[in-house]
Chain A
Amino acid sequence: MIEKKPIIFLLLATATILVGTVITMVAPFWWINDPKLAIASVKPYTPLQLEGRDIYIREGCNNCHTQTVRPLLSDTERYGEYSKSGEFAYDQPFLWGSRRTGPDLARIGGKYPDAWHVKHMKDPQSMVPRSNMPSYEFLKQPLDTSLSERKMQALHFPYTREDLMELKGKSELDAMVAYLQKLGNDIPWRKAAQAVVVGELKNPFQDNMAVLPEGKALYQQNCAQCHGKDLQGDVGPKLSDLDKPDAQVFTTIYSGSQAAGMPAFGDSLGKERTWKLVTYLKLRQRH
């Protein structure tokens, strides 16, 4: 009996452990990161983005934020196009995480303008009321670039002298924002999402004064952080004398505008509440 032979027992146990290991952990190396799954538009990190990524790792952001969008409606509607294997080809280590105490960040790139991130990192609650994210104001300290070049070499990422020069005078926060703005943005999914027609664009609450209180509440919750409590403008433009057709205002809120740095709110507000917001923005001027 092997219960009387410890060395044979040890070898047998090792063999037993190795069966599943070889099939489900070693063998997939032949499938994953296959050239067929590569996405040409996915680029390695620049030195600044890589430094930002290292700060993301240092601060343990992955303890609260995931970075993988599952092919499930509640994920894709909320965060965008589902994640593809090829998008992570340069991620050493991967940062998919295991718990969404905060939202998924796989497609955060391009969702908000840089200025939004700067304000949010400094004081998260000022941009997202009742958020439980800690303040990362201390990231305004200067970026340590002593290892930047060696890091690029270690990962075999291409870089130029200009890339390294770009690091001069940058803060850790600059690096973090540069990293966040790259996330999920290498494939042109956001443009495709914006092109989707959102149905017939007629305001169901046109001239309906009854929705103003709700519209105002929605504004204060979602918009005031960037456009100001009194619509006077801040990160985003002034809205107090907004003079655009309802349908255009709706589209801008619902689908966002990457060029203008306006996030899409359709996923979180839905159509009805977006129209109420439009109604508020248009009708409040008449008072």
Chain B
Amino acid sequence: MDHQEGYADDVVKGFLISSMLWGFVAVLLGVVVSLQIAFPQLNLPPYFSYGRLRPIHTNAGIFGWGIGSFMAFFIYITQRLTKTRLWSPGLARVQLWLFNTVIALAAVTLLLGMTRSKEYAELEWPVALLVVVLWVIFAVNIVMTIVKRREEQMYISLWYILATLVGVAVLYLVNNAGIPVSLTKSYSAYAGANDANVQWWYGHNAVAMVLTTPPLAIFYYFLPKSTGVPIYSHRMGVIAFWSLIFMYLWTGAHHLLWTPVPDWVQTLAMGFSVMLIAPSWAAVFNGYFSMNGQWHQMRENYLAKFLIFGITFYGLQTLQGPSQAVRTFSAFIHYTDWVPGHVHMGTLGWVSLVLFAGIYYTVPKLYNREIYSVGLANLHFWLAVIGQLIFSISMWIAGVQQATMLNASNPDGSLHYSFMETLIELYPYWYARAFGGVIYFVSLLFFLYNIAKTITGGAPQAVAQKA
């Protein structure tokens, strides 16, 4: 299946290099904003303040690093699973340029304070329109390739790819509806509690359709490819797929527990969030059971390490998430540092580890070379995991501590601590978080160095084999 010649892979290289660049920006900005929270004098308004940089951090991470890599892998995987050349490589090149233009425009406009303020949907309407064009080009190319495929059966990765293409389109169009005032300013089409409910239907399903279904598509493709073992259960995959994309869309309002959004919407969100444990863990089990008899690969095969740790963080994430979606626990930890701790286990742990595995697997194939250094890849792995754990664990403790302090009351029923008294106690945890972020950033440098050396140097694989 690995006859590289027929496939349009140059554009895959372009997307991978772009996504790594934006990933570098995202993590660097993450370190910067984490330091700005701990040391407010590092804010240099108007442009370099936390309020403006944080959305650039999230956009560069989710859309630059995340979507950029997904575009690369969707194009790579779809061609191989359909045994068909990409429908239009020319269109894909347009898509690559448009993608980088959009992300760069996003960074510049957000820095200038042009924002719609809705989380992960901040981009003002002209940039948002370009995103729509970008997505249509992408979706058409992938769907047409699948339609013209030479392999009749669609492997599980292709289902997740198709769901992503349609899911993102629906979410983005609805939540970005707005009333333009000028080229750089618009207002949301919805008001108040309605706007909140639309936004978190979008926000949480961005987690579903951007941070869950694409990495699952990638995981289901690269786990067998990297380890040589087939997926444990096709049937479990089918059930998990349909129940996952059915249930996710009900859960947005768990971001809005105890707010003026109707109680029944909140209750449905809470119930479906807990039910989501089942399909999420079906994927985790599918990963684990596939490894039965092959667990020694965790010692020998660095790709297996990235993938299995990735799916493990996914499993932890999908237990922690539903627990946070329960009213009583939400009352306690919502709005505290617990939540960024949770989010970064998903992004730095689950999504990024799987993407790293995919890149380590594909780059040597695309450039016809051996990986430059397995030792460096192992170092990257351990530093990434350690950095992420320092980040998340310090934030969980900080969240629980602040929640406890905020809830502490005196015998007469008045509150024991002022808000500031709880905030002052968070500084040590913020230093720890920044430290974890720096470790993760260093791990990323090793990764980028390793990939750069693989691309530019080393003996070509084919030549080495022939000799």
Which residues of A are in contact with B by a Cβ distance under 8 Å?
3-4, 6-7, 9-10, 13-14, 16-21, 23-25, 28-29, 31-33, 54, 57-64, 66, 68, 70-74, 77-78, 83-85, 87-103, 124-125, 128-138, 147, 150-151, 154-155, 199, 266-272
Contacts and interface: CB of A to CB of B under 8 A. Distances in A.
B199 to A, nearest CB: 7
Nearest to A1: B153
Contacts of A96: 196, 256, 259
Contacts of B292: none
B5 interface: no
Contacts, number: 267
B40 A131 contact: yes
B331 A20 contact: no
Interface of B: 36-40, 43, 45-46, 49-52, 54-55, 113-119, 143, 146-147, 149, 152-154, 158-159, 162-163, 165-167, 170, 174, 179-182, 185, 187-199, 201, 242, 245-253, 255-256, 258-262, 265, 268-269, 272, 331, 335-336, 339-340, 406-407, 409-410, 412-421, 423-424, 427
A132 B37 contact: yes
Contacts of B154: 3-4, 6, 9
15 contacts: A3-B154, A10-B143, A10-B166, A32-B193, A60-B51, A60-B52, A63-B50, A64-B50, A77-B415, A88-B260, A93-B118, A96-B259, A131-B40, A151-B185, A268-B420
A21 B201 CA distance: 8
Contact of B260 (A18, A68, A93, A150): A68
B75 to A, nearest CB: 16
A59 B53 CA distance: 10
A201 to B, nearest CB: 14
A70 B258 contact: yes
Contacts of A88: 191-193, 196, 260
Nearest to A68: B259
Contact of A128 (B147, B199, B412, B420): B420
Nearest to A25: B201
Contacts of A78: 406, 415, 419
Given A72-B258, A92-B188, A62 B249 contact: no
Contacts of A74: 406-407, 409, 415
Given A71-B258, A92-B187, A100-B336, A9 B193 contact: no
Contact of A33 (B52, B158, B192, B253): B192
A147 B185 contact: yes
B195 A73 contact: no
A84 B335 CA distance: 19
Contact of A28 (B55, B115, B265, B414): B265
A101 B395 CA distance: 12
Given A135-B45, A138-B46, A150 B272 contact: no
A132 B115 contact: no
Contacts of B181: 147, 150-151, 154
Given A3-B159, A16-B245, A132-B38, A98 B194 contact: no
B9 to A, nearest CB: 22
A13 B414 CA distance: 52
Of A72, A93, A101, A266, the most chain B CB neighbours within 10 A belong to A93
Contacts of B39: 132
Given A60-B50, A93-B187, 12 more contacts: A6-B154, A18-B170, A19-B249, A25-B252, A29-B194, A74-B406, A87-B192, A92-B191, A134-B36, A136-B45, A137-B45, A268-B419
Contacts of B185: 54, 147, 151
A155 B188 CA distance: 10
B179 A58 contact: no
Contacts of A272: 410
Contacts of B199: 93-94
A21 B170 contact: yes
Given A74-B415, A88-B193, A134 B45 contact: yes
Contacts of A13: 159, 162-163, 166-167, 245
Contacts of A94: 188, 191-193, 195-196, 199
B268 A24 contact: yes
Nearest to A77: B415
Nearest to B54: A63
B166 A17 contact: yes
A15 B382 CA distance: 42
A200 to B, nearest CB: 12
Contacts of B249: 17-21, 24-25
A199 B37 CA distance: 40
A9 B188 contact: no
A132 B258 CA distance: 27
A6 B146 contact: yes
B272 A99 contact: no
Nearest to A70: B258
A178 B264 CA distance: 36
B170 A17 contact: yes
A20 B204 CA distance: 13
